[in-house]
Structure 1
Amino acid sequence: MTAEAVATSPFAGPADDGERPLRIALLTYKGNPFCGGQGVYVRHLSRELVRLGHSVEVIGAQPYPVLDTGATLTELPSLDLYRSPDPFRTPKRDEYRDWIDALEVATMWTGGFPEPLTFSLRARRHLRARAGEFDVVHDNQTLGYGLLGDVGAPLVTTIHHPITVDRKLDLDAAQGRMKRASVRRWYAFTRMQGRVARKLPSVLTVSGSSRQEIADHLGVRDERIHVVHIGADTDLWSPDASVAEVPGRIVTTSSADVPLKGLVFLVEALAKLRTEQPDAHLVVVGKRAEQGPVARAIETYGLQDAVRFVKGITDAELVDLVRSAEVACVPSLYEGFSLPAAEAMATGTPLVATTGGAIPEVAGPDGETCLAVPPGDAGALAAALGRMLGDPQLRARLGVAGRERVLTRFTWAAAAEGTAAHYRAAIEQSRVARSRRAR
């Protein structure tokens, strides 16, 4: 989409600070908006940047992002080796296009995760062929070697949180030497991401907690890291009194097989809670794991009828599901931001959340905008959920306070304004550097 087309769009407003609109290439090596925060980030940030008057072209690989009106999508396909229903597939001979495809398959065959590297190499080739078409390139946590050097425009990178945090938690949960070796091989790409991050002139992140983690884990110099909070779509995620609350309903968003999300502790907490409040039940927005710690916990505690998993629902259905809950819960051991917390609070649904990572930065003080518990403590989680379910006045007070916190601190409109300001700073920094080299 051209700048002129954006200017005539009904979604477009004036540029954020009165300067000319920017031509933005927004990269995402995984864009699924229904699973994981990267696709959500790309969808909502691109929409709000367009509303500010900018031209946004999202360049992404499978699963491709879903975009709102205004931004355009350019597909930069991988071999999609992890697609459902045949993950870790071996491509047919006629699927190979070049050496990058061969590298992608070889890395998978040896137990690694190739997509950050191979997407970065394809993106560099694509962007160099289009040099001069963009004012800025925004990388959404690819952090691949291909993005070092000239990519045709100044580069800004968002790091939601260092994946080394996921690596540590997965290693801690791994049982046996072979499993730990497999985890290390899978996360081998994090060494590349650290090397790339240390060479970047400008890094954006979504919370103060992530800022510190990036400095500590990746060795990025403090002055290069800038916090721009993200948030909820507060028009979509809003209260609706016509949606009836379901007694005892607790809702969470989680991947059952990801230790970082802490779902196993929530299942254990539910078992404790149901001894006193037998109508308590859990709806998990995410894919059910047929085996692993969560599946074993559900079977051990006899919770097959008290835990339900849902996936593939629409945005409207998801919002109504959260509205129908008496309590929303974020049981994660760590979060770089926690969109589920912000979104639940925006609906006015009271929140029980851990203090893992940046969650307190989003959820706010215990007893004022949420009930907060230590991560990994099923007993404390059960006590907080029981307190919330048993006190309608507490739920009402925290629900109102939670929405107000999101409205004043965590919106996508504010995120777009802050991000655009950093785009302009990166462009100016690049201009000054070119001027110095020309002397």
Structure 2
Amino acid sequence: MSEARDPNGPLKIAYLTYRGKPHVGGQGVYTRHLTKALVDLGHSVEVFGGQPYPVLDERIKLTKLPSLDLINDHYPFRFPAIWELKTREDFYELGLFLIGTFGEPAAFSSRVKRHLAQRTGEFDLVHDNQCLGYGILSLEKLIPTIVTLHHPITRDRALEMEHAPNWYKKFGVSRFYSFVEMQGRVASRMPRIVVVSENSIKDIHGDMGVSYDRMRLVPVGVDPDLFKPQPQVTRIPGRLITTASADVALKGLSFLLEAVAKLRTERDVTLTIIGKPKPGKSMDLIDKLGLAPHIQFVSGVTDERIVELYAEAELAVVPSLYEGFSLPAIEAMCTGICLVATDGGALPEVTGI
């Protein structure tokens, strides 16, 4: 264990993120901003992550703990070559994949536990960003550990099941999300959990059985010196903007696309989507509705450019069926753009409606 330390002094923190997509999605964006803020406060942070790796402040060390990367943007659901299977965690991840389960959280928790077991004296605290694999329970016995739980993935699973068109799609969704039971077991046994909204606290308690006294509310924020109105930028008439971190039912993008198609029968409307275009339901719907010439995808850009994109648009939209918090909502409000949002999950709490 670490030597006795000044309780008011800086902490040496091991921050864990099994995925860290840098520009869209809660995991990578949350990781980038939180770890930078911790270093700004004087703490020492080392990030342990899997693919896609996070983009971090230059003061923060990234220790890569690569997964098999079986579900990636360029080659989703690929099968690994035999030479890629080097550790027991690799075989574990592949085994879960073969039975249709998303195995990254479980395998990453085992990898990071094995790595940090050799370095227990180097850290005062472990901060797990919603991996919640069984290895996190073992790690907590070695180093004090807290978990950020953005929202219960049970809500993602329920919405995917609801929108699955047939029984075998529903079976596939059920198999893929079977890791949710593991996360519930781990979360209910963790002594310290950070949650980003009151709505998520309620849902985590109801869906995962985590007692209220183990959870603490720490809302997410954005940099007000960066996300602010840009009066020098001219808004483009009819330009809408949204963020799509994943092509899943929970994000509600299909409903926005249908609304844009309806609006285009009445006026000239275009849509900017912050995110990568990926083959799937949304791209199929864009083609079906004839919207391709009127939609611009933007990805891999700086925060400064995102602020400009908000300033160029007339209206920001968050069409999500459920959100544990929603960074895009507060980013939009901070830049002064009009916002239309659903009442899914924590959105009423975040937007103040």
Q: TM-score range by the shorter chain?
A: over 0.9
The answer for the alignment partner of 1:329 in structure 2 is: 317
Question: Hey, what's the Cα distance between the residues in 1 that align with 2:136 and 2:294?
Answer: 47
The answer for the alignment partner of 1:115 in structure 2 is: 104
Query: Residue 113 of structure 2 contacts residue 138 of structure 2 at CA under 8 Å; is this kept in 1?
Result: no
Letter in 2 for 1:266: L
Letter in 2 for 1:163: I
Task: Give the secondary structure class of the aligned counterpart of 1:198.
Answer: helix
Letter in 1 for 2:134: Y
**2:146 corresponds to which of 137, 150, 156:** 156
Question: Hey, what's the Cα distance between the residues in 2 that align with 1:86 and 1:267?
Answer: 26
**2:121 corresponds to which of 119, 132, 140:** 132
TM-aligned CA deviation for residue 150 of structure 1:
4.3
Question: Hey, what's the Cα distance between the residues in 2 that align with 1:150 and 1:287?
Answer: 35
Deviations 1:330-352 (A, max 9, x none): 01111000000011111111211
The answer for the alignment partner of 2:307 in structure 1 is: 319
**1:360 corresponds to which of 330, 333, 348:** 348
1:101 matched to 2:71? The reply is no
Q: Are the structure 2 counterparts of residues 268 and 22 from structure 1 closer, same or farther at C-alpha, using a change threshold of 3 Å?
A: same
Task: Give the secondary structure class of the aligned counterpart of 1:204.
Answer: strand
Query: Residue 24 of structure 2 contacts residue 244 of structure 2 at CA under 8 Å; is this kept in 1?
Result: no
Letter in 2 for 1:223: D
1:50 matched to 2:43? The reply is no
Task: Give the secondary structure class of the aligned counterpart of 1:194.
Answer: helix
The aligned runs of 1:296-307 (5 Å cut-off) are 296-307=284-295
Q: Which has the larger radius of gyration?
A: 1
Question: Hey, what's the Cα distance between the residues in 1 that align with 2:199 and 2:292?
Answer: 36
1:89 matched to 2:78? The reply is yes
1:220 matched to 2:210? The reply is yes
Question: Hey, what's the Cα distance between the residues in 2 that align with 1:77 and 1:313?
Answer: 24
The answer for the alignment partner of 1:347 in structure 2 is: 335
Structure 1: tracts of 5 or more residues without a match:
1-16, 366-439
Task: Give the secondary structure class of the aligned counterpart of 1:35.
Answer: coil
Question: Hey, what's the Cα distance between the residues in 2 that align with 1:256 and 1:34?
Answer: 12
TM-aligned CA deviation for residue 18 of structure 1:
8.7
Identity of counterpart residues, as a percentage? 52
TM-aligned CA deviation for residue 257 of structure 1:
2.4
The answer for the alignment partner of 2:13 in structure 1 is: 24
CA RMSD in angstroms, aligned pairs only: 1.7
Task: Give the secondary structure class of the aligned counterpart of 1:344.
Answer: helix
TM-aligned CA deviation for residue 296 of structure 1:
4.5
The aligned runs of 1:186-265 (5 Å cut-off) are 186-255=176-245, 257-265=247-255
**1:146 corresponds to which of 130, 135, 143:** 135
Query: Residue 26 of structure 1 contacts residue 59 of structure 1 at CA under 8 Å; is this kept in 2?
Result: yes
Question: Which deviates more, 319-328 or 114-123?
Answer: 319-328
TM-score relative to the length of structure 2:
0.94
Question: Hey, what's the Cα distance between the residues in 1 that align with 2:7 and 2:92?
Answer: 45
TM-score relative to the length of structure 1:
0.76
Query: Residue 43 of structure 1 contacts residue 66 of structure 1 at CA under 8 Å; is this kept in 2?
Result: yes
Task: Give the secondary structure class of the aligned counterpart of 2:54.
Answer: coil
Letter in 2 for 1:24: I
Structure 2: tracts of 5 or more residues without a match:
1-5
Letter in 2 for 1:129: Q
Question: Hey, what's the Cα distance between the residues in 2 that align with 1:163 and 1:272?
Answer: 32
